[in-house]
């Protein structure tokens, strides 16, 4: 057992600008599956944060600040009276956050030379700029860490947050996942994802944040615990067939969480609608979760789009939404897998109530690290 718990949540995706909106989005009676790209709608950071200091911030930084505000506020940590800010840290997952700035600057240099650049863009060309703005605004002095690990990035950031707690580098870790599907990001992701694919992936803006603490610390301050991190597993694939490595990550996670597959309430899939993801994941799940009746499976990306660096944190929050709501949201029937996989992990295609006590969230990408995190009800 990891001993880490979630005490605060902030989230933005599609039309949802907070956790309540996100739950409504997931559990809408008539689900609307998103168009490509699934942009964040009516996003007005000034309304949430005030206008001061926003002028020169890139969009990812603004999104990160908004979800950080909601997560810290919902954790009820009294930020004005924190005794040692050196015990507060931030870990941010983003792969593409600076692409717009980087592309704009590179294009300007190639056209007009460096004299045409704006010096103000200098820090904005550093991939850790979003995390830095969060650390600065909220005075998080215990470490400001950015993670870029591709599709697994969000779950890797959560693991890194947990390791900061375990290695006594922090008492509170704000874990943020943020990605903006700028035109540049779409060019690169489309090129990467559609190489071998049969269809276009829906890409989505997303930002999500959770506050992690040790369970005894959270209990001592009387925090409301939203979920427990039960365990995790990772395994690096060989780049050819990821299924056995994902299965190994899943089994390591269940072992660390001391969870029998029979006790698992839900699997949150990393499927983004491509066979290149669905097929290996289906095989890994059916090989590692041998349970009669199957473990219900849901695909958050069918509702949110592929949010890349934000996806892992969004999936964790989707799991918490299912736990708190007492139900499993609907995924499109067209995302069903083959009969063998559906028998082991049936995709939930009609809305239903369920007592979700534990959920397994997955993140991986072709040739990348496979990550599984188990989360449980408090």
Partner 1 sequence: MPTKRRVVVTGRGVLTGIGEGCQTFWDALVSGQSGVRRITRSDPSRYRNPLGCEVPIDDPLVVERPDLGRASAMLLRVARAAAQEAGLGSAHAPPRRRVGVVVGSALLDLRSAEDMLCGEHPTASFIDNFSMAACVARDLGVQGYNITFPNACGSGTLAVAVAADLIAIGKLDAVIAAGADTYTESMFGLADRANLRAPRCMAPFDRHRGGPLLGEGAAALILEGETSARERRARVFGEVTGAGVTCDAVSTHKTTMEGVSAAITQALSRSGMCAQDIDYVCAHGTATDVNDVAETRALERVLGARASAIPVSAIKSMLGHTSGASGAVAVVAALLAIEHGIAPPTMNLANQDPELGLNYVPNRAQRWSINTALVNAFGFGGTNACVVLRRYNAGAYA
Judged by CB under 8 A, the stretch of 31-39, 41-49, 140-148, 214-222 that binds partner 1 is 140-148
Least CB distance to partner 1 at residue 9 (A)? 22
Least CB distance to partner 1 at residue 76 (A)? 21
DSSP structure string for 53-107: T-TT--HHHHHHHHHHHHHHHHHT--GGG-S-GGGEEEEEE-SSTTHHHHHHHHH
Least CB distance to partner 1 at residue 155 (A)? 11
- Residue 101 interacting with partner 1 (CB under 8 A): yes
Q: Which is nearer to partner 1, 133 or 301 (CB)?
A: 133
Enumerate the β-bridge partners of residue 93. Answer: 147, 177
- Residue 365's Cα: distance from chain center in Å? 14
Least CB distance to partner 1 at residue 232 (A)? 9
Which residues in the 182-241 window bind partner 1 by CB under 8 A?
184, 187-189, 191-192, 234-239
Nearest CA among 174, 148, 181, 156 for reference residue 87: 174
Q: How far is the CA of 378 from the CAs of 149, 224, 323, 366, in angstroms?
A: 29, 9, 9, 33
Q: Which of 156, 223, 295, 344 binds partner 1 (CB under 8 A)?
A: 156
Q: Which of 22, 245, 329, 335 binds partner 1 (CB under 8 A)?
A: 245
Residue 14 corresponds to which tokens in the numbers above?
A: 């599609």
- Residue 160 interacting with partner 1 (CB under 8 A): yes
Q: Which is nearer to partner 1, 85 or 325 (CB)?
A: 85
Separation of alpha carbons 56 and 65, rounded Å: 14
Which residues in the 247-266 window bind partner 1 by CB under 8 A?
248
Which residues in the 117-136 window bind partner 1 by CB under 8 A?
117-119, 121-123, 125-129, 131-133, 135-136
Least CB distance to partner 1 at residue 165 (A)? 10
Separation of alpha carbons 145 and 212, rounded Å: 15
Is-contact 212 158, C-beta < 8 A? yes
Q: Are strands 358-363 and 266-268 parallel, antiparallel or unpaired?
A: parallel
Is-contact 319 264, C-beta < 8 A? no
Polymer length of the chain: 378
Q: Are strands 266-268 and 227-236 parallel, antiparallel or unpaired?
A: unpaired
Residue 183 corresponds to which tokens in the numbers above?
A: 């035109």
**Measured CA angle at 190 (ends 188, 193), to 5 deg:** 105
Q: Which is nearer to partner 1, 239 or 326 (CB)?
A: 239
- Residue 109 interacting with partner 1 (CB under 8 A): yes
- Residue 365 interacting with partner 1 (CB under 8 A): yes
Q: Which of 40, 105, 359, 372 binds partner 1 (CB under 8 A)?
A: 105
- Residue 140 interacting with partner 1 (CB under 8 A): yes
Separation of alpha carbons 319 and 329, rounded Å: 10
Which residues in the 55-94 window bind partner 1 by CB under 8 A?
85-86, 89-90
- Residue 166 interacting with partner 1 (CB under 8 A): yes
Binding track over 14-53 against partner 1, x by CB under 8 A:
----------------------------------------
Q: Which of 36, 144, 194, 287 binds partner 1 (CB under 8 A)?
A: 144
Is-contact 206 181, C-beta < 8 A? no
Is-contact 357 322, C-beta < 8 A? no
Q: Which is nearer to partner 1, 31 or 287 (CB)?
A: 287
Least CB distance to partner 1 at residue 374 (A)? 16
- Residue 150 interacting with partner 1 (CB under 8 A): yes
């Amino acid at each position: 057992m990891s001993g880490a718990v979630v005490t605060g949540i902030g989230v933005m995706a599609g039309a949802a600008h907070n956790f309540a909106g996100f739950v409504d989005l997931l559990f809408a009676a008539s689900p609307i599956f998103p168009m490509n790209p699934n942009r964040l709608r009516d996003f007005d950071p000034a309304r949430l944060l005030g206008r001061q200091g926003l002028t020169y911030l890139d969009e990812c930084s603004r999104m990160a600040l908004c979800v950080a505000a909601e997560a810290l506020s919902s954790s009820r940590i009294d930020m004005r009276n924190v005794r040692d800010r050196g015990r507060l840290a931030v870990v941010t997952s983003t792969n593409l956050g600076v692409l717009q700035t980087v592309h704009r600057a590179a294009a300007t240099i190639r056209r007009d030379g460096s004299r045409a650049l704006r010096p103000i863009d200098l820090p904005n060309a550093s991939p850790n700029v979003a995390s830095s703005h969060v650390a600065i605004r909220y005075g998080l002095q215990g470490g400001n860490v950015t993670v870029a690990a591709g599709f697994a990035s969000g779950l890797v950031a959560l693991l890194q947050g947990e390791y900061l707690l375990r290695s006594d580098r922090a008492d509170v870790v704000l874990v943020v996942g943020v990605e903006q599907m700028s035109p540049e990001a779409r060019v690169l992701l489309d090129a990467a994802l559609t190489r071998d694919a049969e269809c276009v992936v829906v890409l989505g803006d997303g930002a999500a944040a959770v506050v992690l603490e040790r369970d005894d610390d959270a209990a001592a301050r009387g925090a409301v615990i939203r979920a427990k991190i039960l365990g995790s597993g990772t395994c690096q694939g060989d780049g050819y067939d990821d299924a056995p490595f994902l299965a190994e990550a899943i089994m390591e996670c269940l072992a660390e969480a001391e969870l029998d597959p029979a006790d698992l309430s839900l699997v949150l899939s990393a499927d983004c609608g491509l066979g290149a993801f669905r097929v290996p994941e289906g095989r890994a799940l059916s090989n590692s979760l041998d349970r009669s009746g199957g473990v219900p499976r849901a695909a958050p990306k069918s509702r949110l789009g592929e949010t890349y660096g934000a996806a892992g944190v969004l999936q964790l929050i989707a799991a918490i939404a299912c736990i708190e709501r007492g139900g499993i949201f609907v995924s499109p029937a067209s995302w069903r897998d083959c009969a063998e996989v559906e028998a082991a992990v049936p995709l939930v295609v009609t809305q239903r109530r369920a007592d979700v006590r534990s959920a397994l969230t997955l993140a991986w990408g072709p040739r990348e690290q496979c990550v599984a995190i188990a989360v449980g009800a408090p």
